[in-house]
Amino acid sequence: MNLPRLLPRRVTLRARLTLIYGGLFLVAGLVLLGTTYVLFNQQLTRSAPKVLTLGKPSPSAIADGEAPMRQMVFFSKNGEPITRADAERLMADTENWMREQRATLHEAATTSLLTLGGIALVVVGGVAAGFGWLVTGRMLAPLHRVTDTARRIAAAPAAGRGLHERIALRGPDDEVKDLADTFDIMVERLDGSFDGQRRFVANASHELRTPLTLGRALVELAMHRKSASEDVKQLGENLLEINFRHERLINGLLLLAGSENEITERLPVDLADVVGHVVTQTAPEAARAGITVHEQAVEAPTTGDALLLERLVHNLVENGIRHNTGEGGWVRVACRTRDDGRVEVEVGNSGPVVPPYEIPALFEPFRRLGADRLVTAKGAGLGLSIVRSVARAHGGEVTARPREGGGLTVTVALPACPDEDQEPGLS
């Protein structure tokens, strides 16, 4: 039988420290109260009255000072001595009365001590726990700052985005400040590493363009000579095809490196116009492949870089055309405004069956599916990587799911354009 969980799944460090402080205070208070009770009980028993004089003592008792009660001689009111039996009975009654009074006094004092002490302990313990909660919150505030900064960096739309943030904690030079300073050093090194990686990709891509352009010119020159044989022309066509693939790869790397940067200037863009333009651009390729492209575009305003958004939609449609079943296949492109206020572009296509566990890998650079991993692949393996980078740079997200019967459906959700009566989304 499963019992319902009465306690929260996660108890914060602040709550645990408060419970520890409060528990230790209550234990110390209980020990103090118990010790006070024992000492009070001993003192009360030791100081209880043991002698009660009911008359004049004998001359010998006076001479000896305060004699014990058993050596006293009692007299009646008229001055005559009473009998021994009456005196013993009188002493027994007196002792019983004294015992009852002592028990009553002991019970009243003990009850008062325990009741009032317990109430005081609970009140002071609650106050101590409250002060412990406040003090613990002040002590853990720097840790919350470290956690918030780490979460903002982790929630950045791209891996290298947000690494410019620093904690820059000020305060006493203690363990918490050491942790914050170490975190700042780590983030600074990561930021430099990501920047260096992006600069390397961009510089390498630019440097590789020159030899590829020169190689293409030499091949075309050799092919168009009058003395060129058919074998040379066929070899030239193969080399040009390989050269074209390399150029596309370099362009994709440049675009991927550029799309990792944050969009600094956002302009209004209607995704319906972008979808219509991309469908027109890809129509010749779709016709050659025998693929039918269906367009369902309604107004979907957003803000961002129009060229990057066009590349995003173009890559999705191009992937849908190239990774399809061939003659008789189809691609559906739609854009709309969702109920949550965001806009989305959805591209679905027929094609081979895509295992669900393969989908995350398709968004990684140079990752292809199945036979497309060969050197003669239809693309460079950067299409969906660029789509994800562009979407993240615009504050959006990309999801993909396999279709029943084969193919893939990719959805890109982007923030909607602000209303005209609000501040424009420009920076």
In a domain, 131, yes or no: no
Q: Which domain holds residue 272?
A: 266-418
- Tell me if 337 is assigned to some domain: yes
**Does any domain span residue 53?**
no
pLDDT of residue 67: 46
Q: Mean pLDDT over residues 31-60, rounded?
A: 62
Q: Please provide residue 335's backbone torsions phi and psi, each rounded to the nearest 5 degrees.
A: -140, 145
- CA 129 to chain centroid, in Å, comes to 28
Q: Which residue has the tokens 């009188």?
A: 90
Residue 344 lies in a domain: yes
More confident residue, 305 or 330: 330
Q: What pLDDT was estimated at residue 270?
A: 92
For the record, the structure tokens of 283 come out as 């129509």
pLDDT of 240-259, one tens digit each? 878 877 776 677 666 666 65
Say how far apart CA 274 and CA 138 lie, in whole Å: 52
Question: 300 by DSSP, 3-state: which?
Answer: coil
In this predicted model, what pLDDT tens digit does every residue of 380-399 receive, in sequence order?
A: 567 788 888 888 888 889 99
Of 303 and 162, the one with more pLDDT: 303
Query: Under 8 Å CB-to-CB from 130, ≥6 apart: which residues?
Result: none
Q: What is the mean pLDDT of the chain?
A: 76
Q: 82-96, 176-190, 231-245, 404-418: which range is least confident on average?
A: 82-96
Any domain includes 214 = no
- The number of distinct structural domains making up the chain is 1
Q: Residue 38 falls within a domain, yes or no? A: no
Integer-rounded Cα radius of gyration of the chain: 45
Q: State the pLDDT confidence band at 378, using cuts at 50, 70 and 90.
A: low
- CB count, 10 Å around CB of 120? 12
Q: Which residues pair with 294 in a beta bridge?
A: 332
Does a structural domain hold residue 396?
yes
Q: Residues 318, 322, 323, 329: is their CA dihedral positive or negative?
A: positive
Identify whether 63 is part of a domain: no
Question: CB of 185 within 8 A of CB of 420?
Answer: no
Poorest-pLDDT segment among 25-29, 73-77, 143-147? 73-77
Closest by CA to 244, choosing from 373, 376, 366, is 376
Q: Phi-psi bin for 418: left (phi > 0), alpha (psi -120 to 50), beta?
A: beta
Q: Has residue 51 got a pLDDT over 80?
A: no
CA distance 35 to 121: 14
User: For residue 401, what are the CA distances in angstroms to 314, 339, 353, 357, 406?
Assistant: 19, 21, 11, 10, 11
CATH, residue 409: 3.30.565.10
What pLDDT, on a 0 to 100 scale, did the predictor assign at position 72?
53
Mean pLDDT score, 37-62? 57
- Rounded to an integer, the average pLDDT of 127-133 is 81
- Give the per-residue pLDDT at 224: 83
Q: Give pTM, 2 decimals.
A: 0.51
Task: For residue 85, give Cα distances in angstroms to 51, 74, 81, 90, 355.
Answer: 19, 12, 12, 8, 111
